Amino acid sequence: MKLSFLLAGAVLAVAGAVSAAPVTKAVATLKSAPGGKVEGVVTFSPAAGGVRVNARVTGLTPGDHGFHIHEFGDCAATDFTSAGGHFNPGGDPHAGMDAAARHSGDMGNIVADKDGVAVLDVVDSKLSFDGANSVLGRGLIVHAAADDFKTQPTGNAGGRVACGVIGATKGE
Ligand SMILES: [Cu+2]
Ligand SMILES: [Zn+2]
């Protein structure tokens, strides 16, 4: 009786230690809005001065597409409005990625080539894997149109053509 109780406690302690390990890598797998054919994978990994964001998105119309982290990791609504507005824990205005004051989720535009393929490799200084700026559990949205970096609070980037939930993944 006493031994089994101790063993159960040890198992719980080990499970707790595992779940407390810091997350250092995350991924969002994008799904298309109904009728679209946008697909993609966005990965998040540690980098000096922030979080490295790598994306490869296909099935886009050629040109610029607003690319943001949104507040909620909820892609349930068919128009993806369930993901909420731009991820903005600092209460800043919407802007481009090089602006000093911007939403933490403002990553500018991805640019699709003539085949509809866009790739991105940036380090975002406003993102992290913990605390108020943690990407975990947030939403990743690709828009139909270009982000103009000015219009508040959306960048006037149009509808939402793809959505993904940013989840923890196994580190290296
Ligand atoms: Cu957006
Ligand atoms: Zn924004």
CATH (domain of 54):
2.60.40.200
Q: The tokens of 161 are what?
A: 């053509």
Rounded to whole angstroms, how far apart are CA atoms 27 and 29? 7
Mean pLDDT (the chain, rounded): 91
Q: The tokens of 39 are what?
A: 């697909």
pLDDT over 90, % of the chain: 84
Q: Let me know if 65 is a catalytic residue.
A: no
In a domain, 4, yes or no: no
Instruction: Judge whether 138 and 127 are in contact, CB under 8 Å.
Output: no
In a domain, 11, yes or no: no
Res 21: pLDDT: 78
Distances (CA, A) of 103 to 32, 71, 91, 100: 24, 10, 7, 10
In a domain, 158, yes or no: yes
Q: Let me know if 138 is a catalytic residue.
A: no
Rounded to whole angstroms, how far apart are CA atoms 17 and 101? 37
In a domain, 7, yes or no: no
Name the catalytic one among 65, 94, 102, 138: 94
In a domain, 2, yes or no: no
Distance from the first to the final alpha carbon of the chain:
40
Q: What is the mean pLDDT of residues 11-28?
A: 69
Q: What is the mean pLDDT of residues 64-82?
A: 98
Res 1: pLDDT: 46
Query: Which domain does 89 fall in, by range?
Result: 23-168
Q: Does pLDDT of 6 surpass 60?
A: no
Q: How far is the CA of 148 from the centre of ligand 2 (A)?
A: 10
Q: Let me know if 103 is a catalytic residue.
A: yes
Number of domains making up the chain: 1
Q: Which ligand is nearest to the CA of 70?
A: 1
Q: What is the mean pLDDT of residues 107-132?
A: 97
In a domain, 1, yes or no: no
Name the catalytic one among 68, 102, 124, 138: 68
User: At which residue do the structure tokens 């000096």 appear?
Assistant: 48
Name the catalytic one among 64, 138, 143, 147: 143
Picking from 37, 26, 27, 55, the residue whose alpha carbon sits closest to that of residue 162 is: 37
pTM of the model: 0.88
Name the catalytic one among 64, 65, 70, 102: 70
Res 50: pLDDT: 92
Picking from 143, 141, 152, the residue whose alpha carbon sits closest to that of residue 61 is: 143
Q: Which ligand is nearest to the CA of 151?
A: 2
Q: Which ligand is nearest to the CA of 102?
A: 2
Instruction: Judge whether 26 and 41 are in contact, CB under 8 Å.
Output: no
In a domain, 5, yes or no: no
Rounded to whole angstroms, how far apart are CA atoms 25 and 169? 6
Q: Let me know if 143 is a catalytic residue.
A: yes
Instruction: Judge whether 171 and 24 are in contact, CB under 8 Å.
Output: yes
In a domain, 34, yes or no: yes
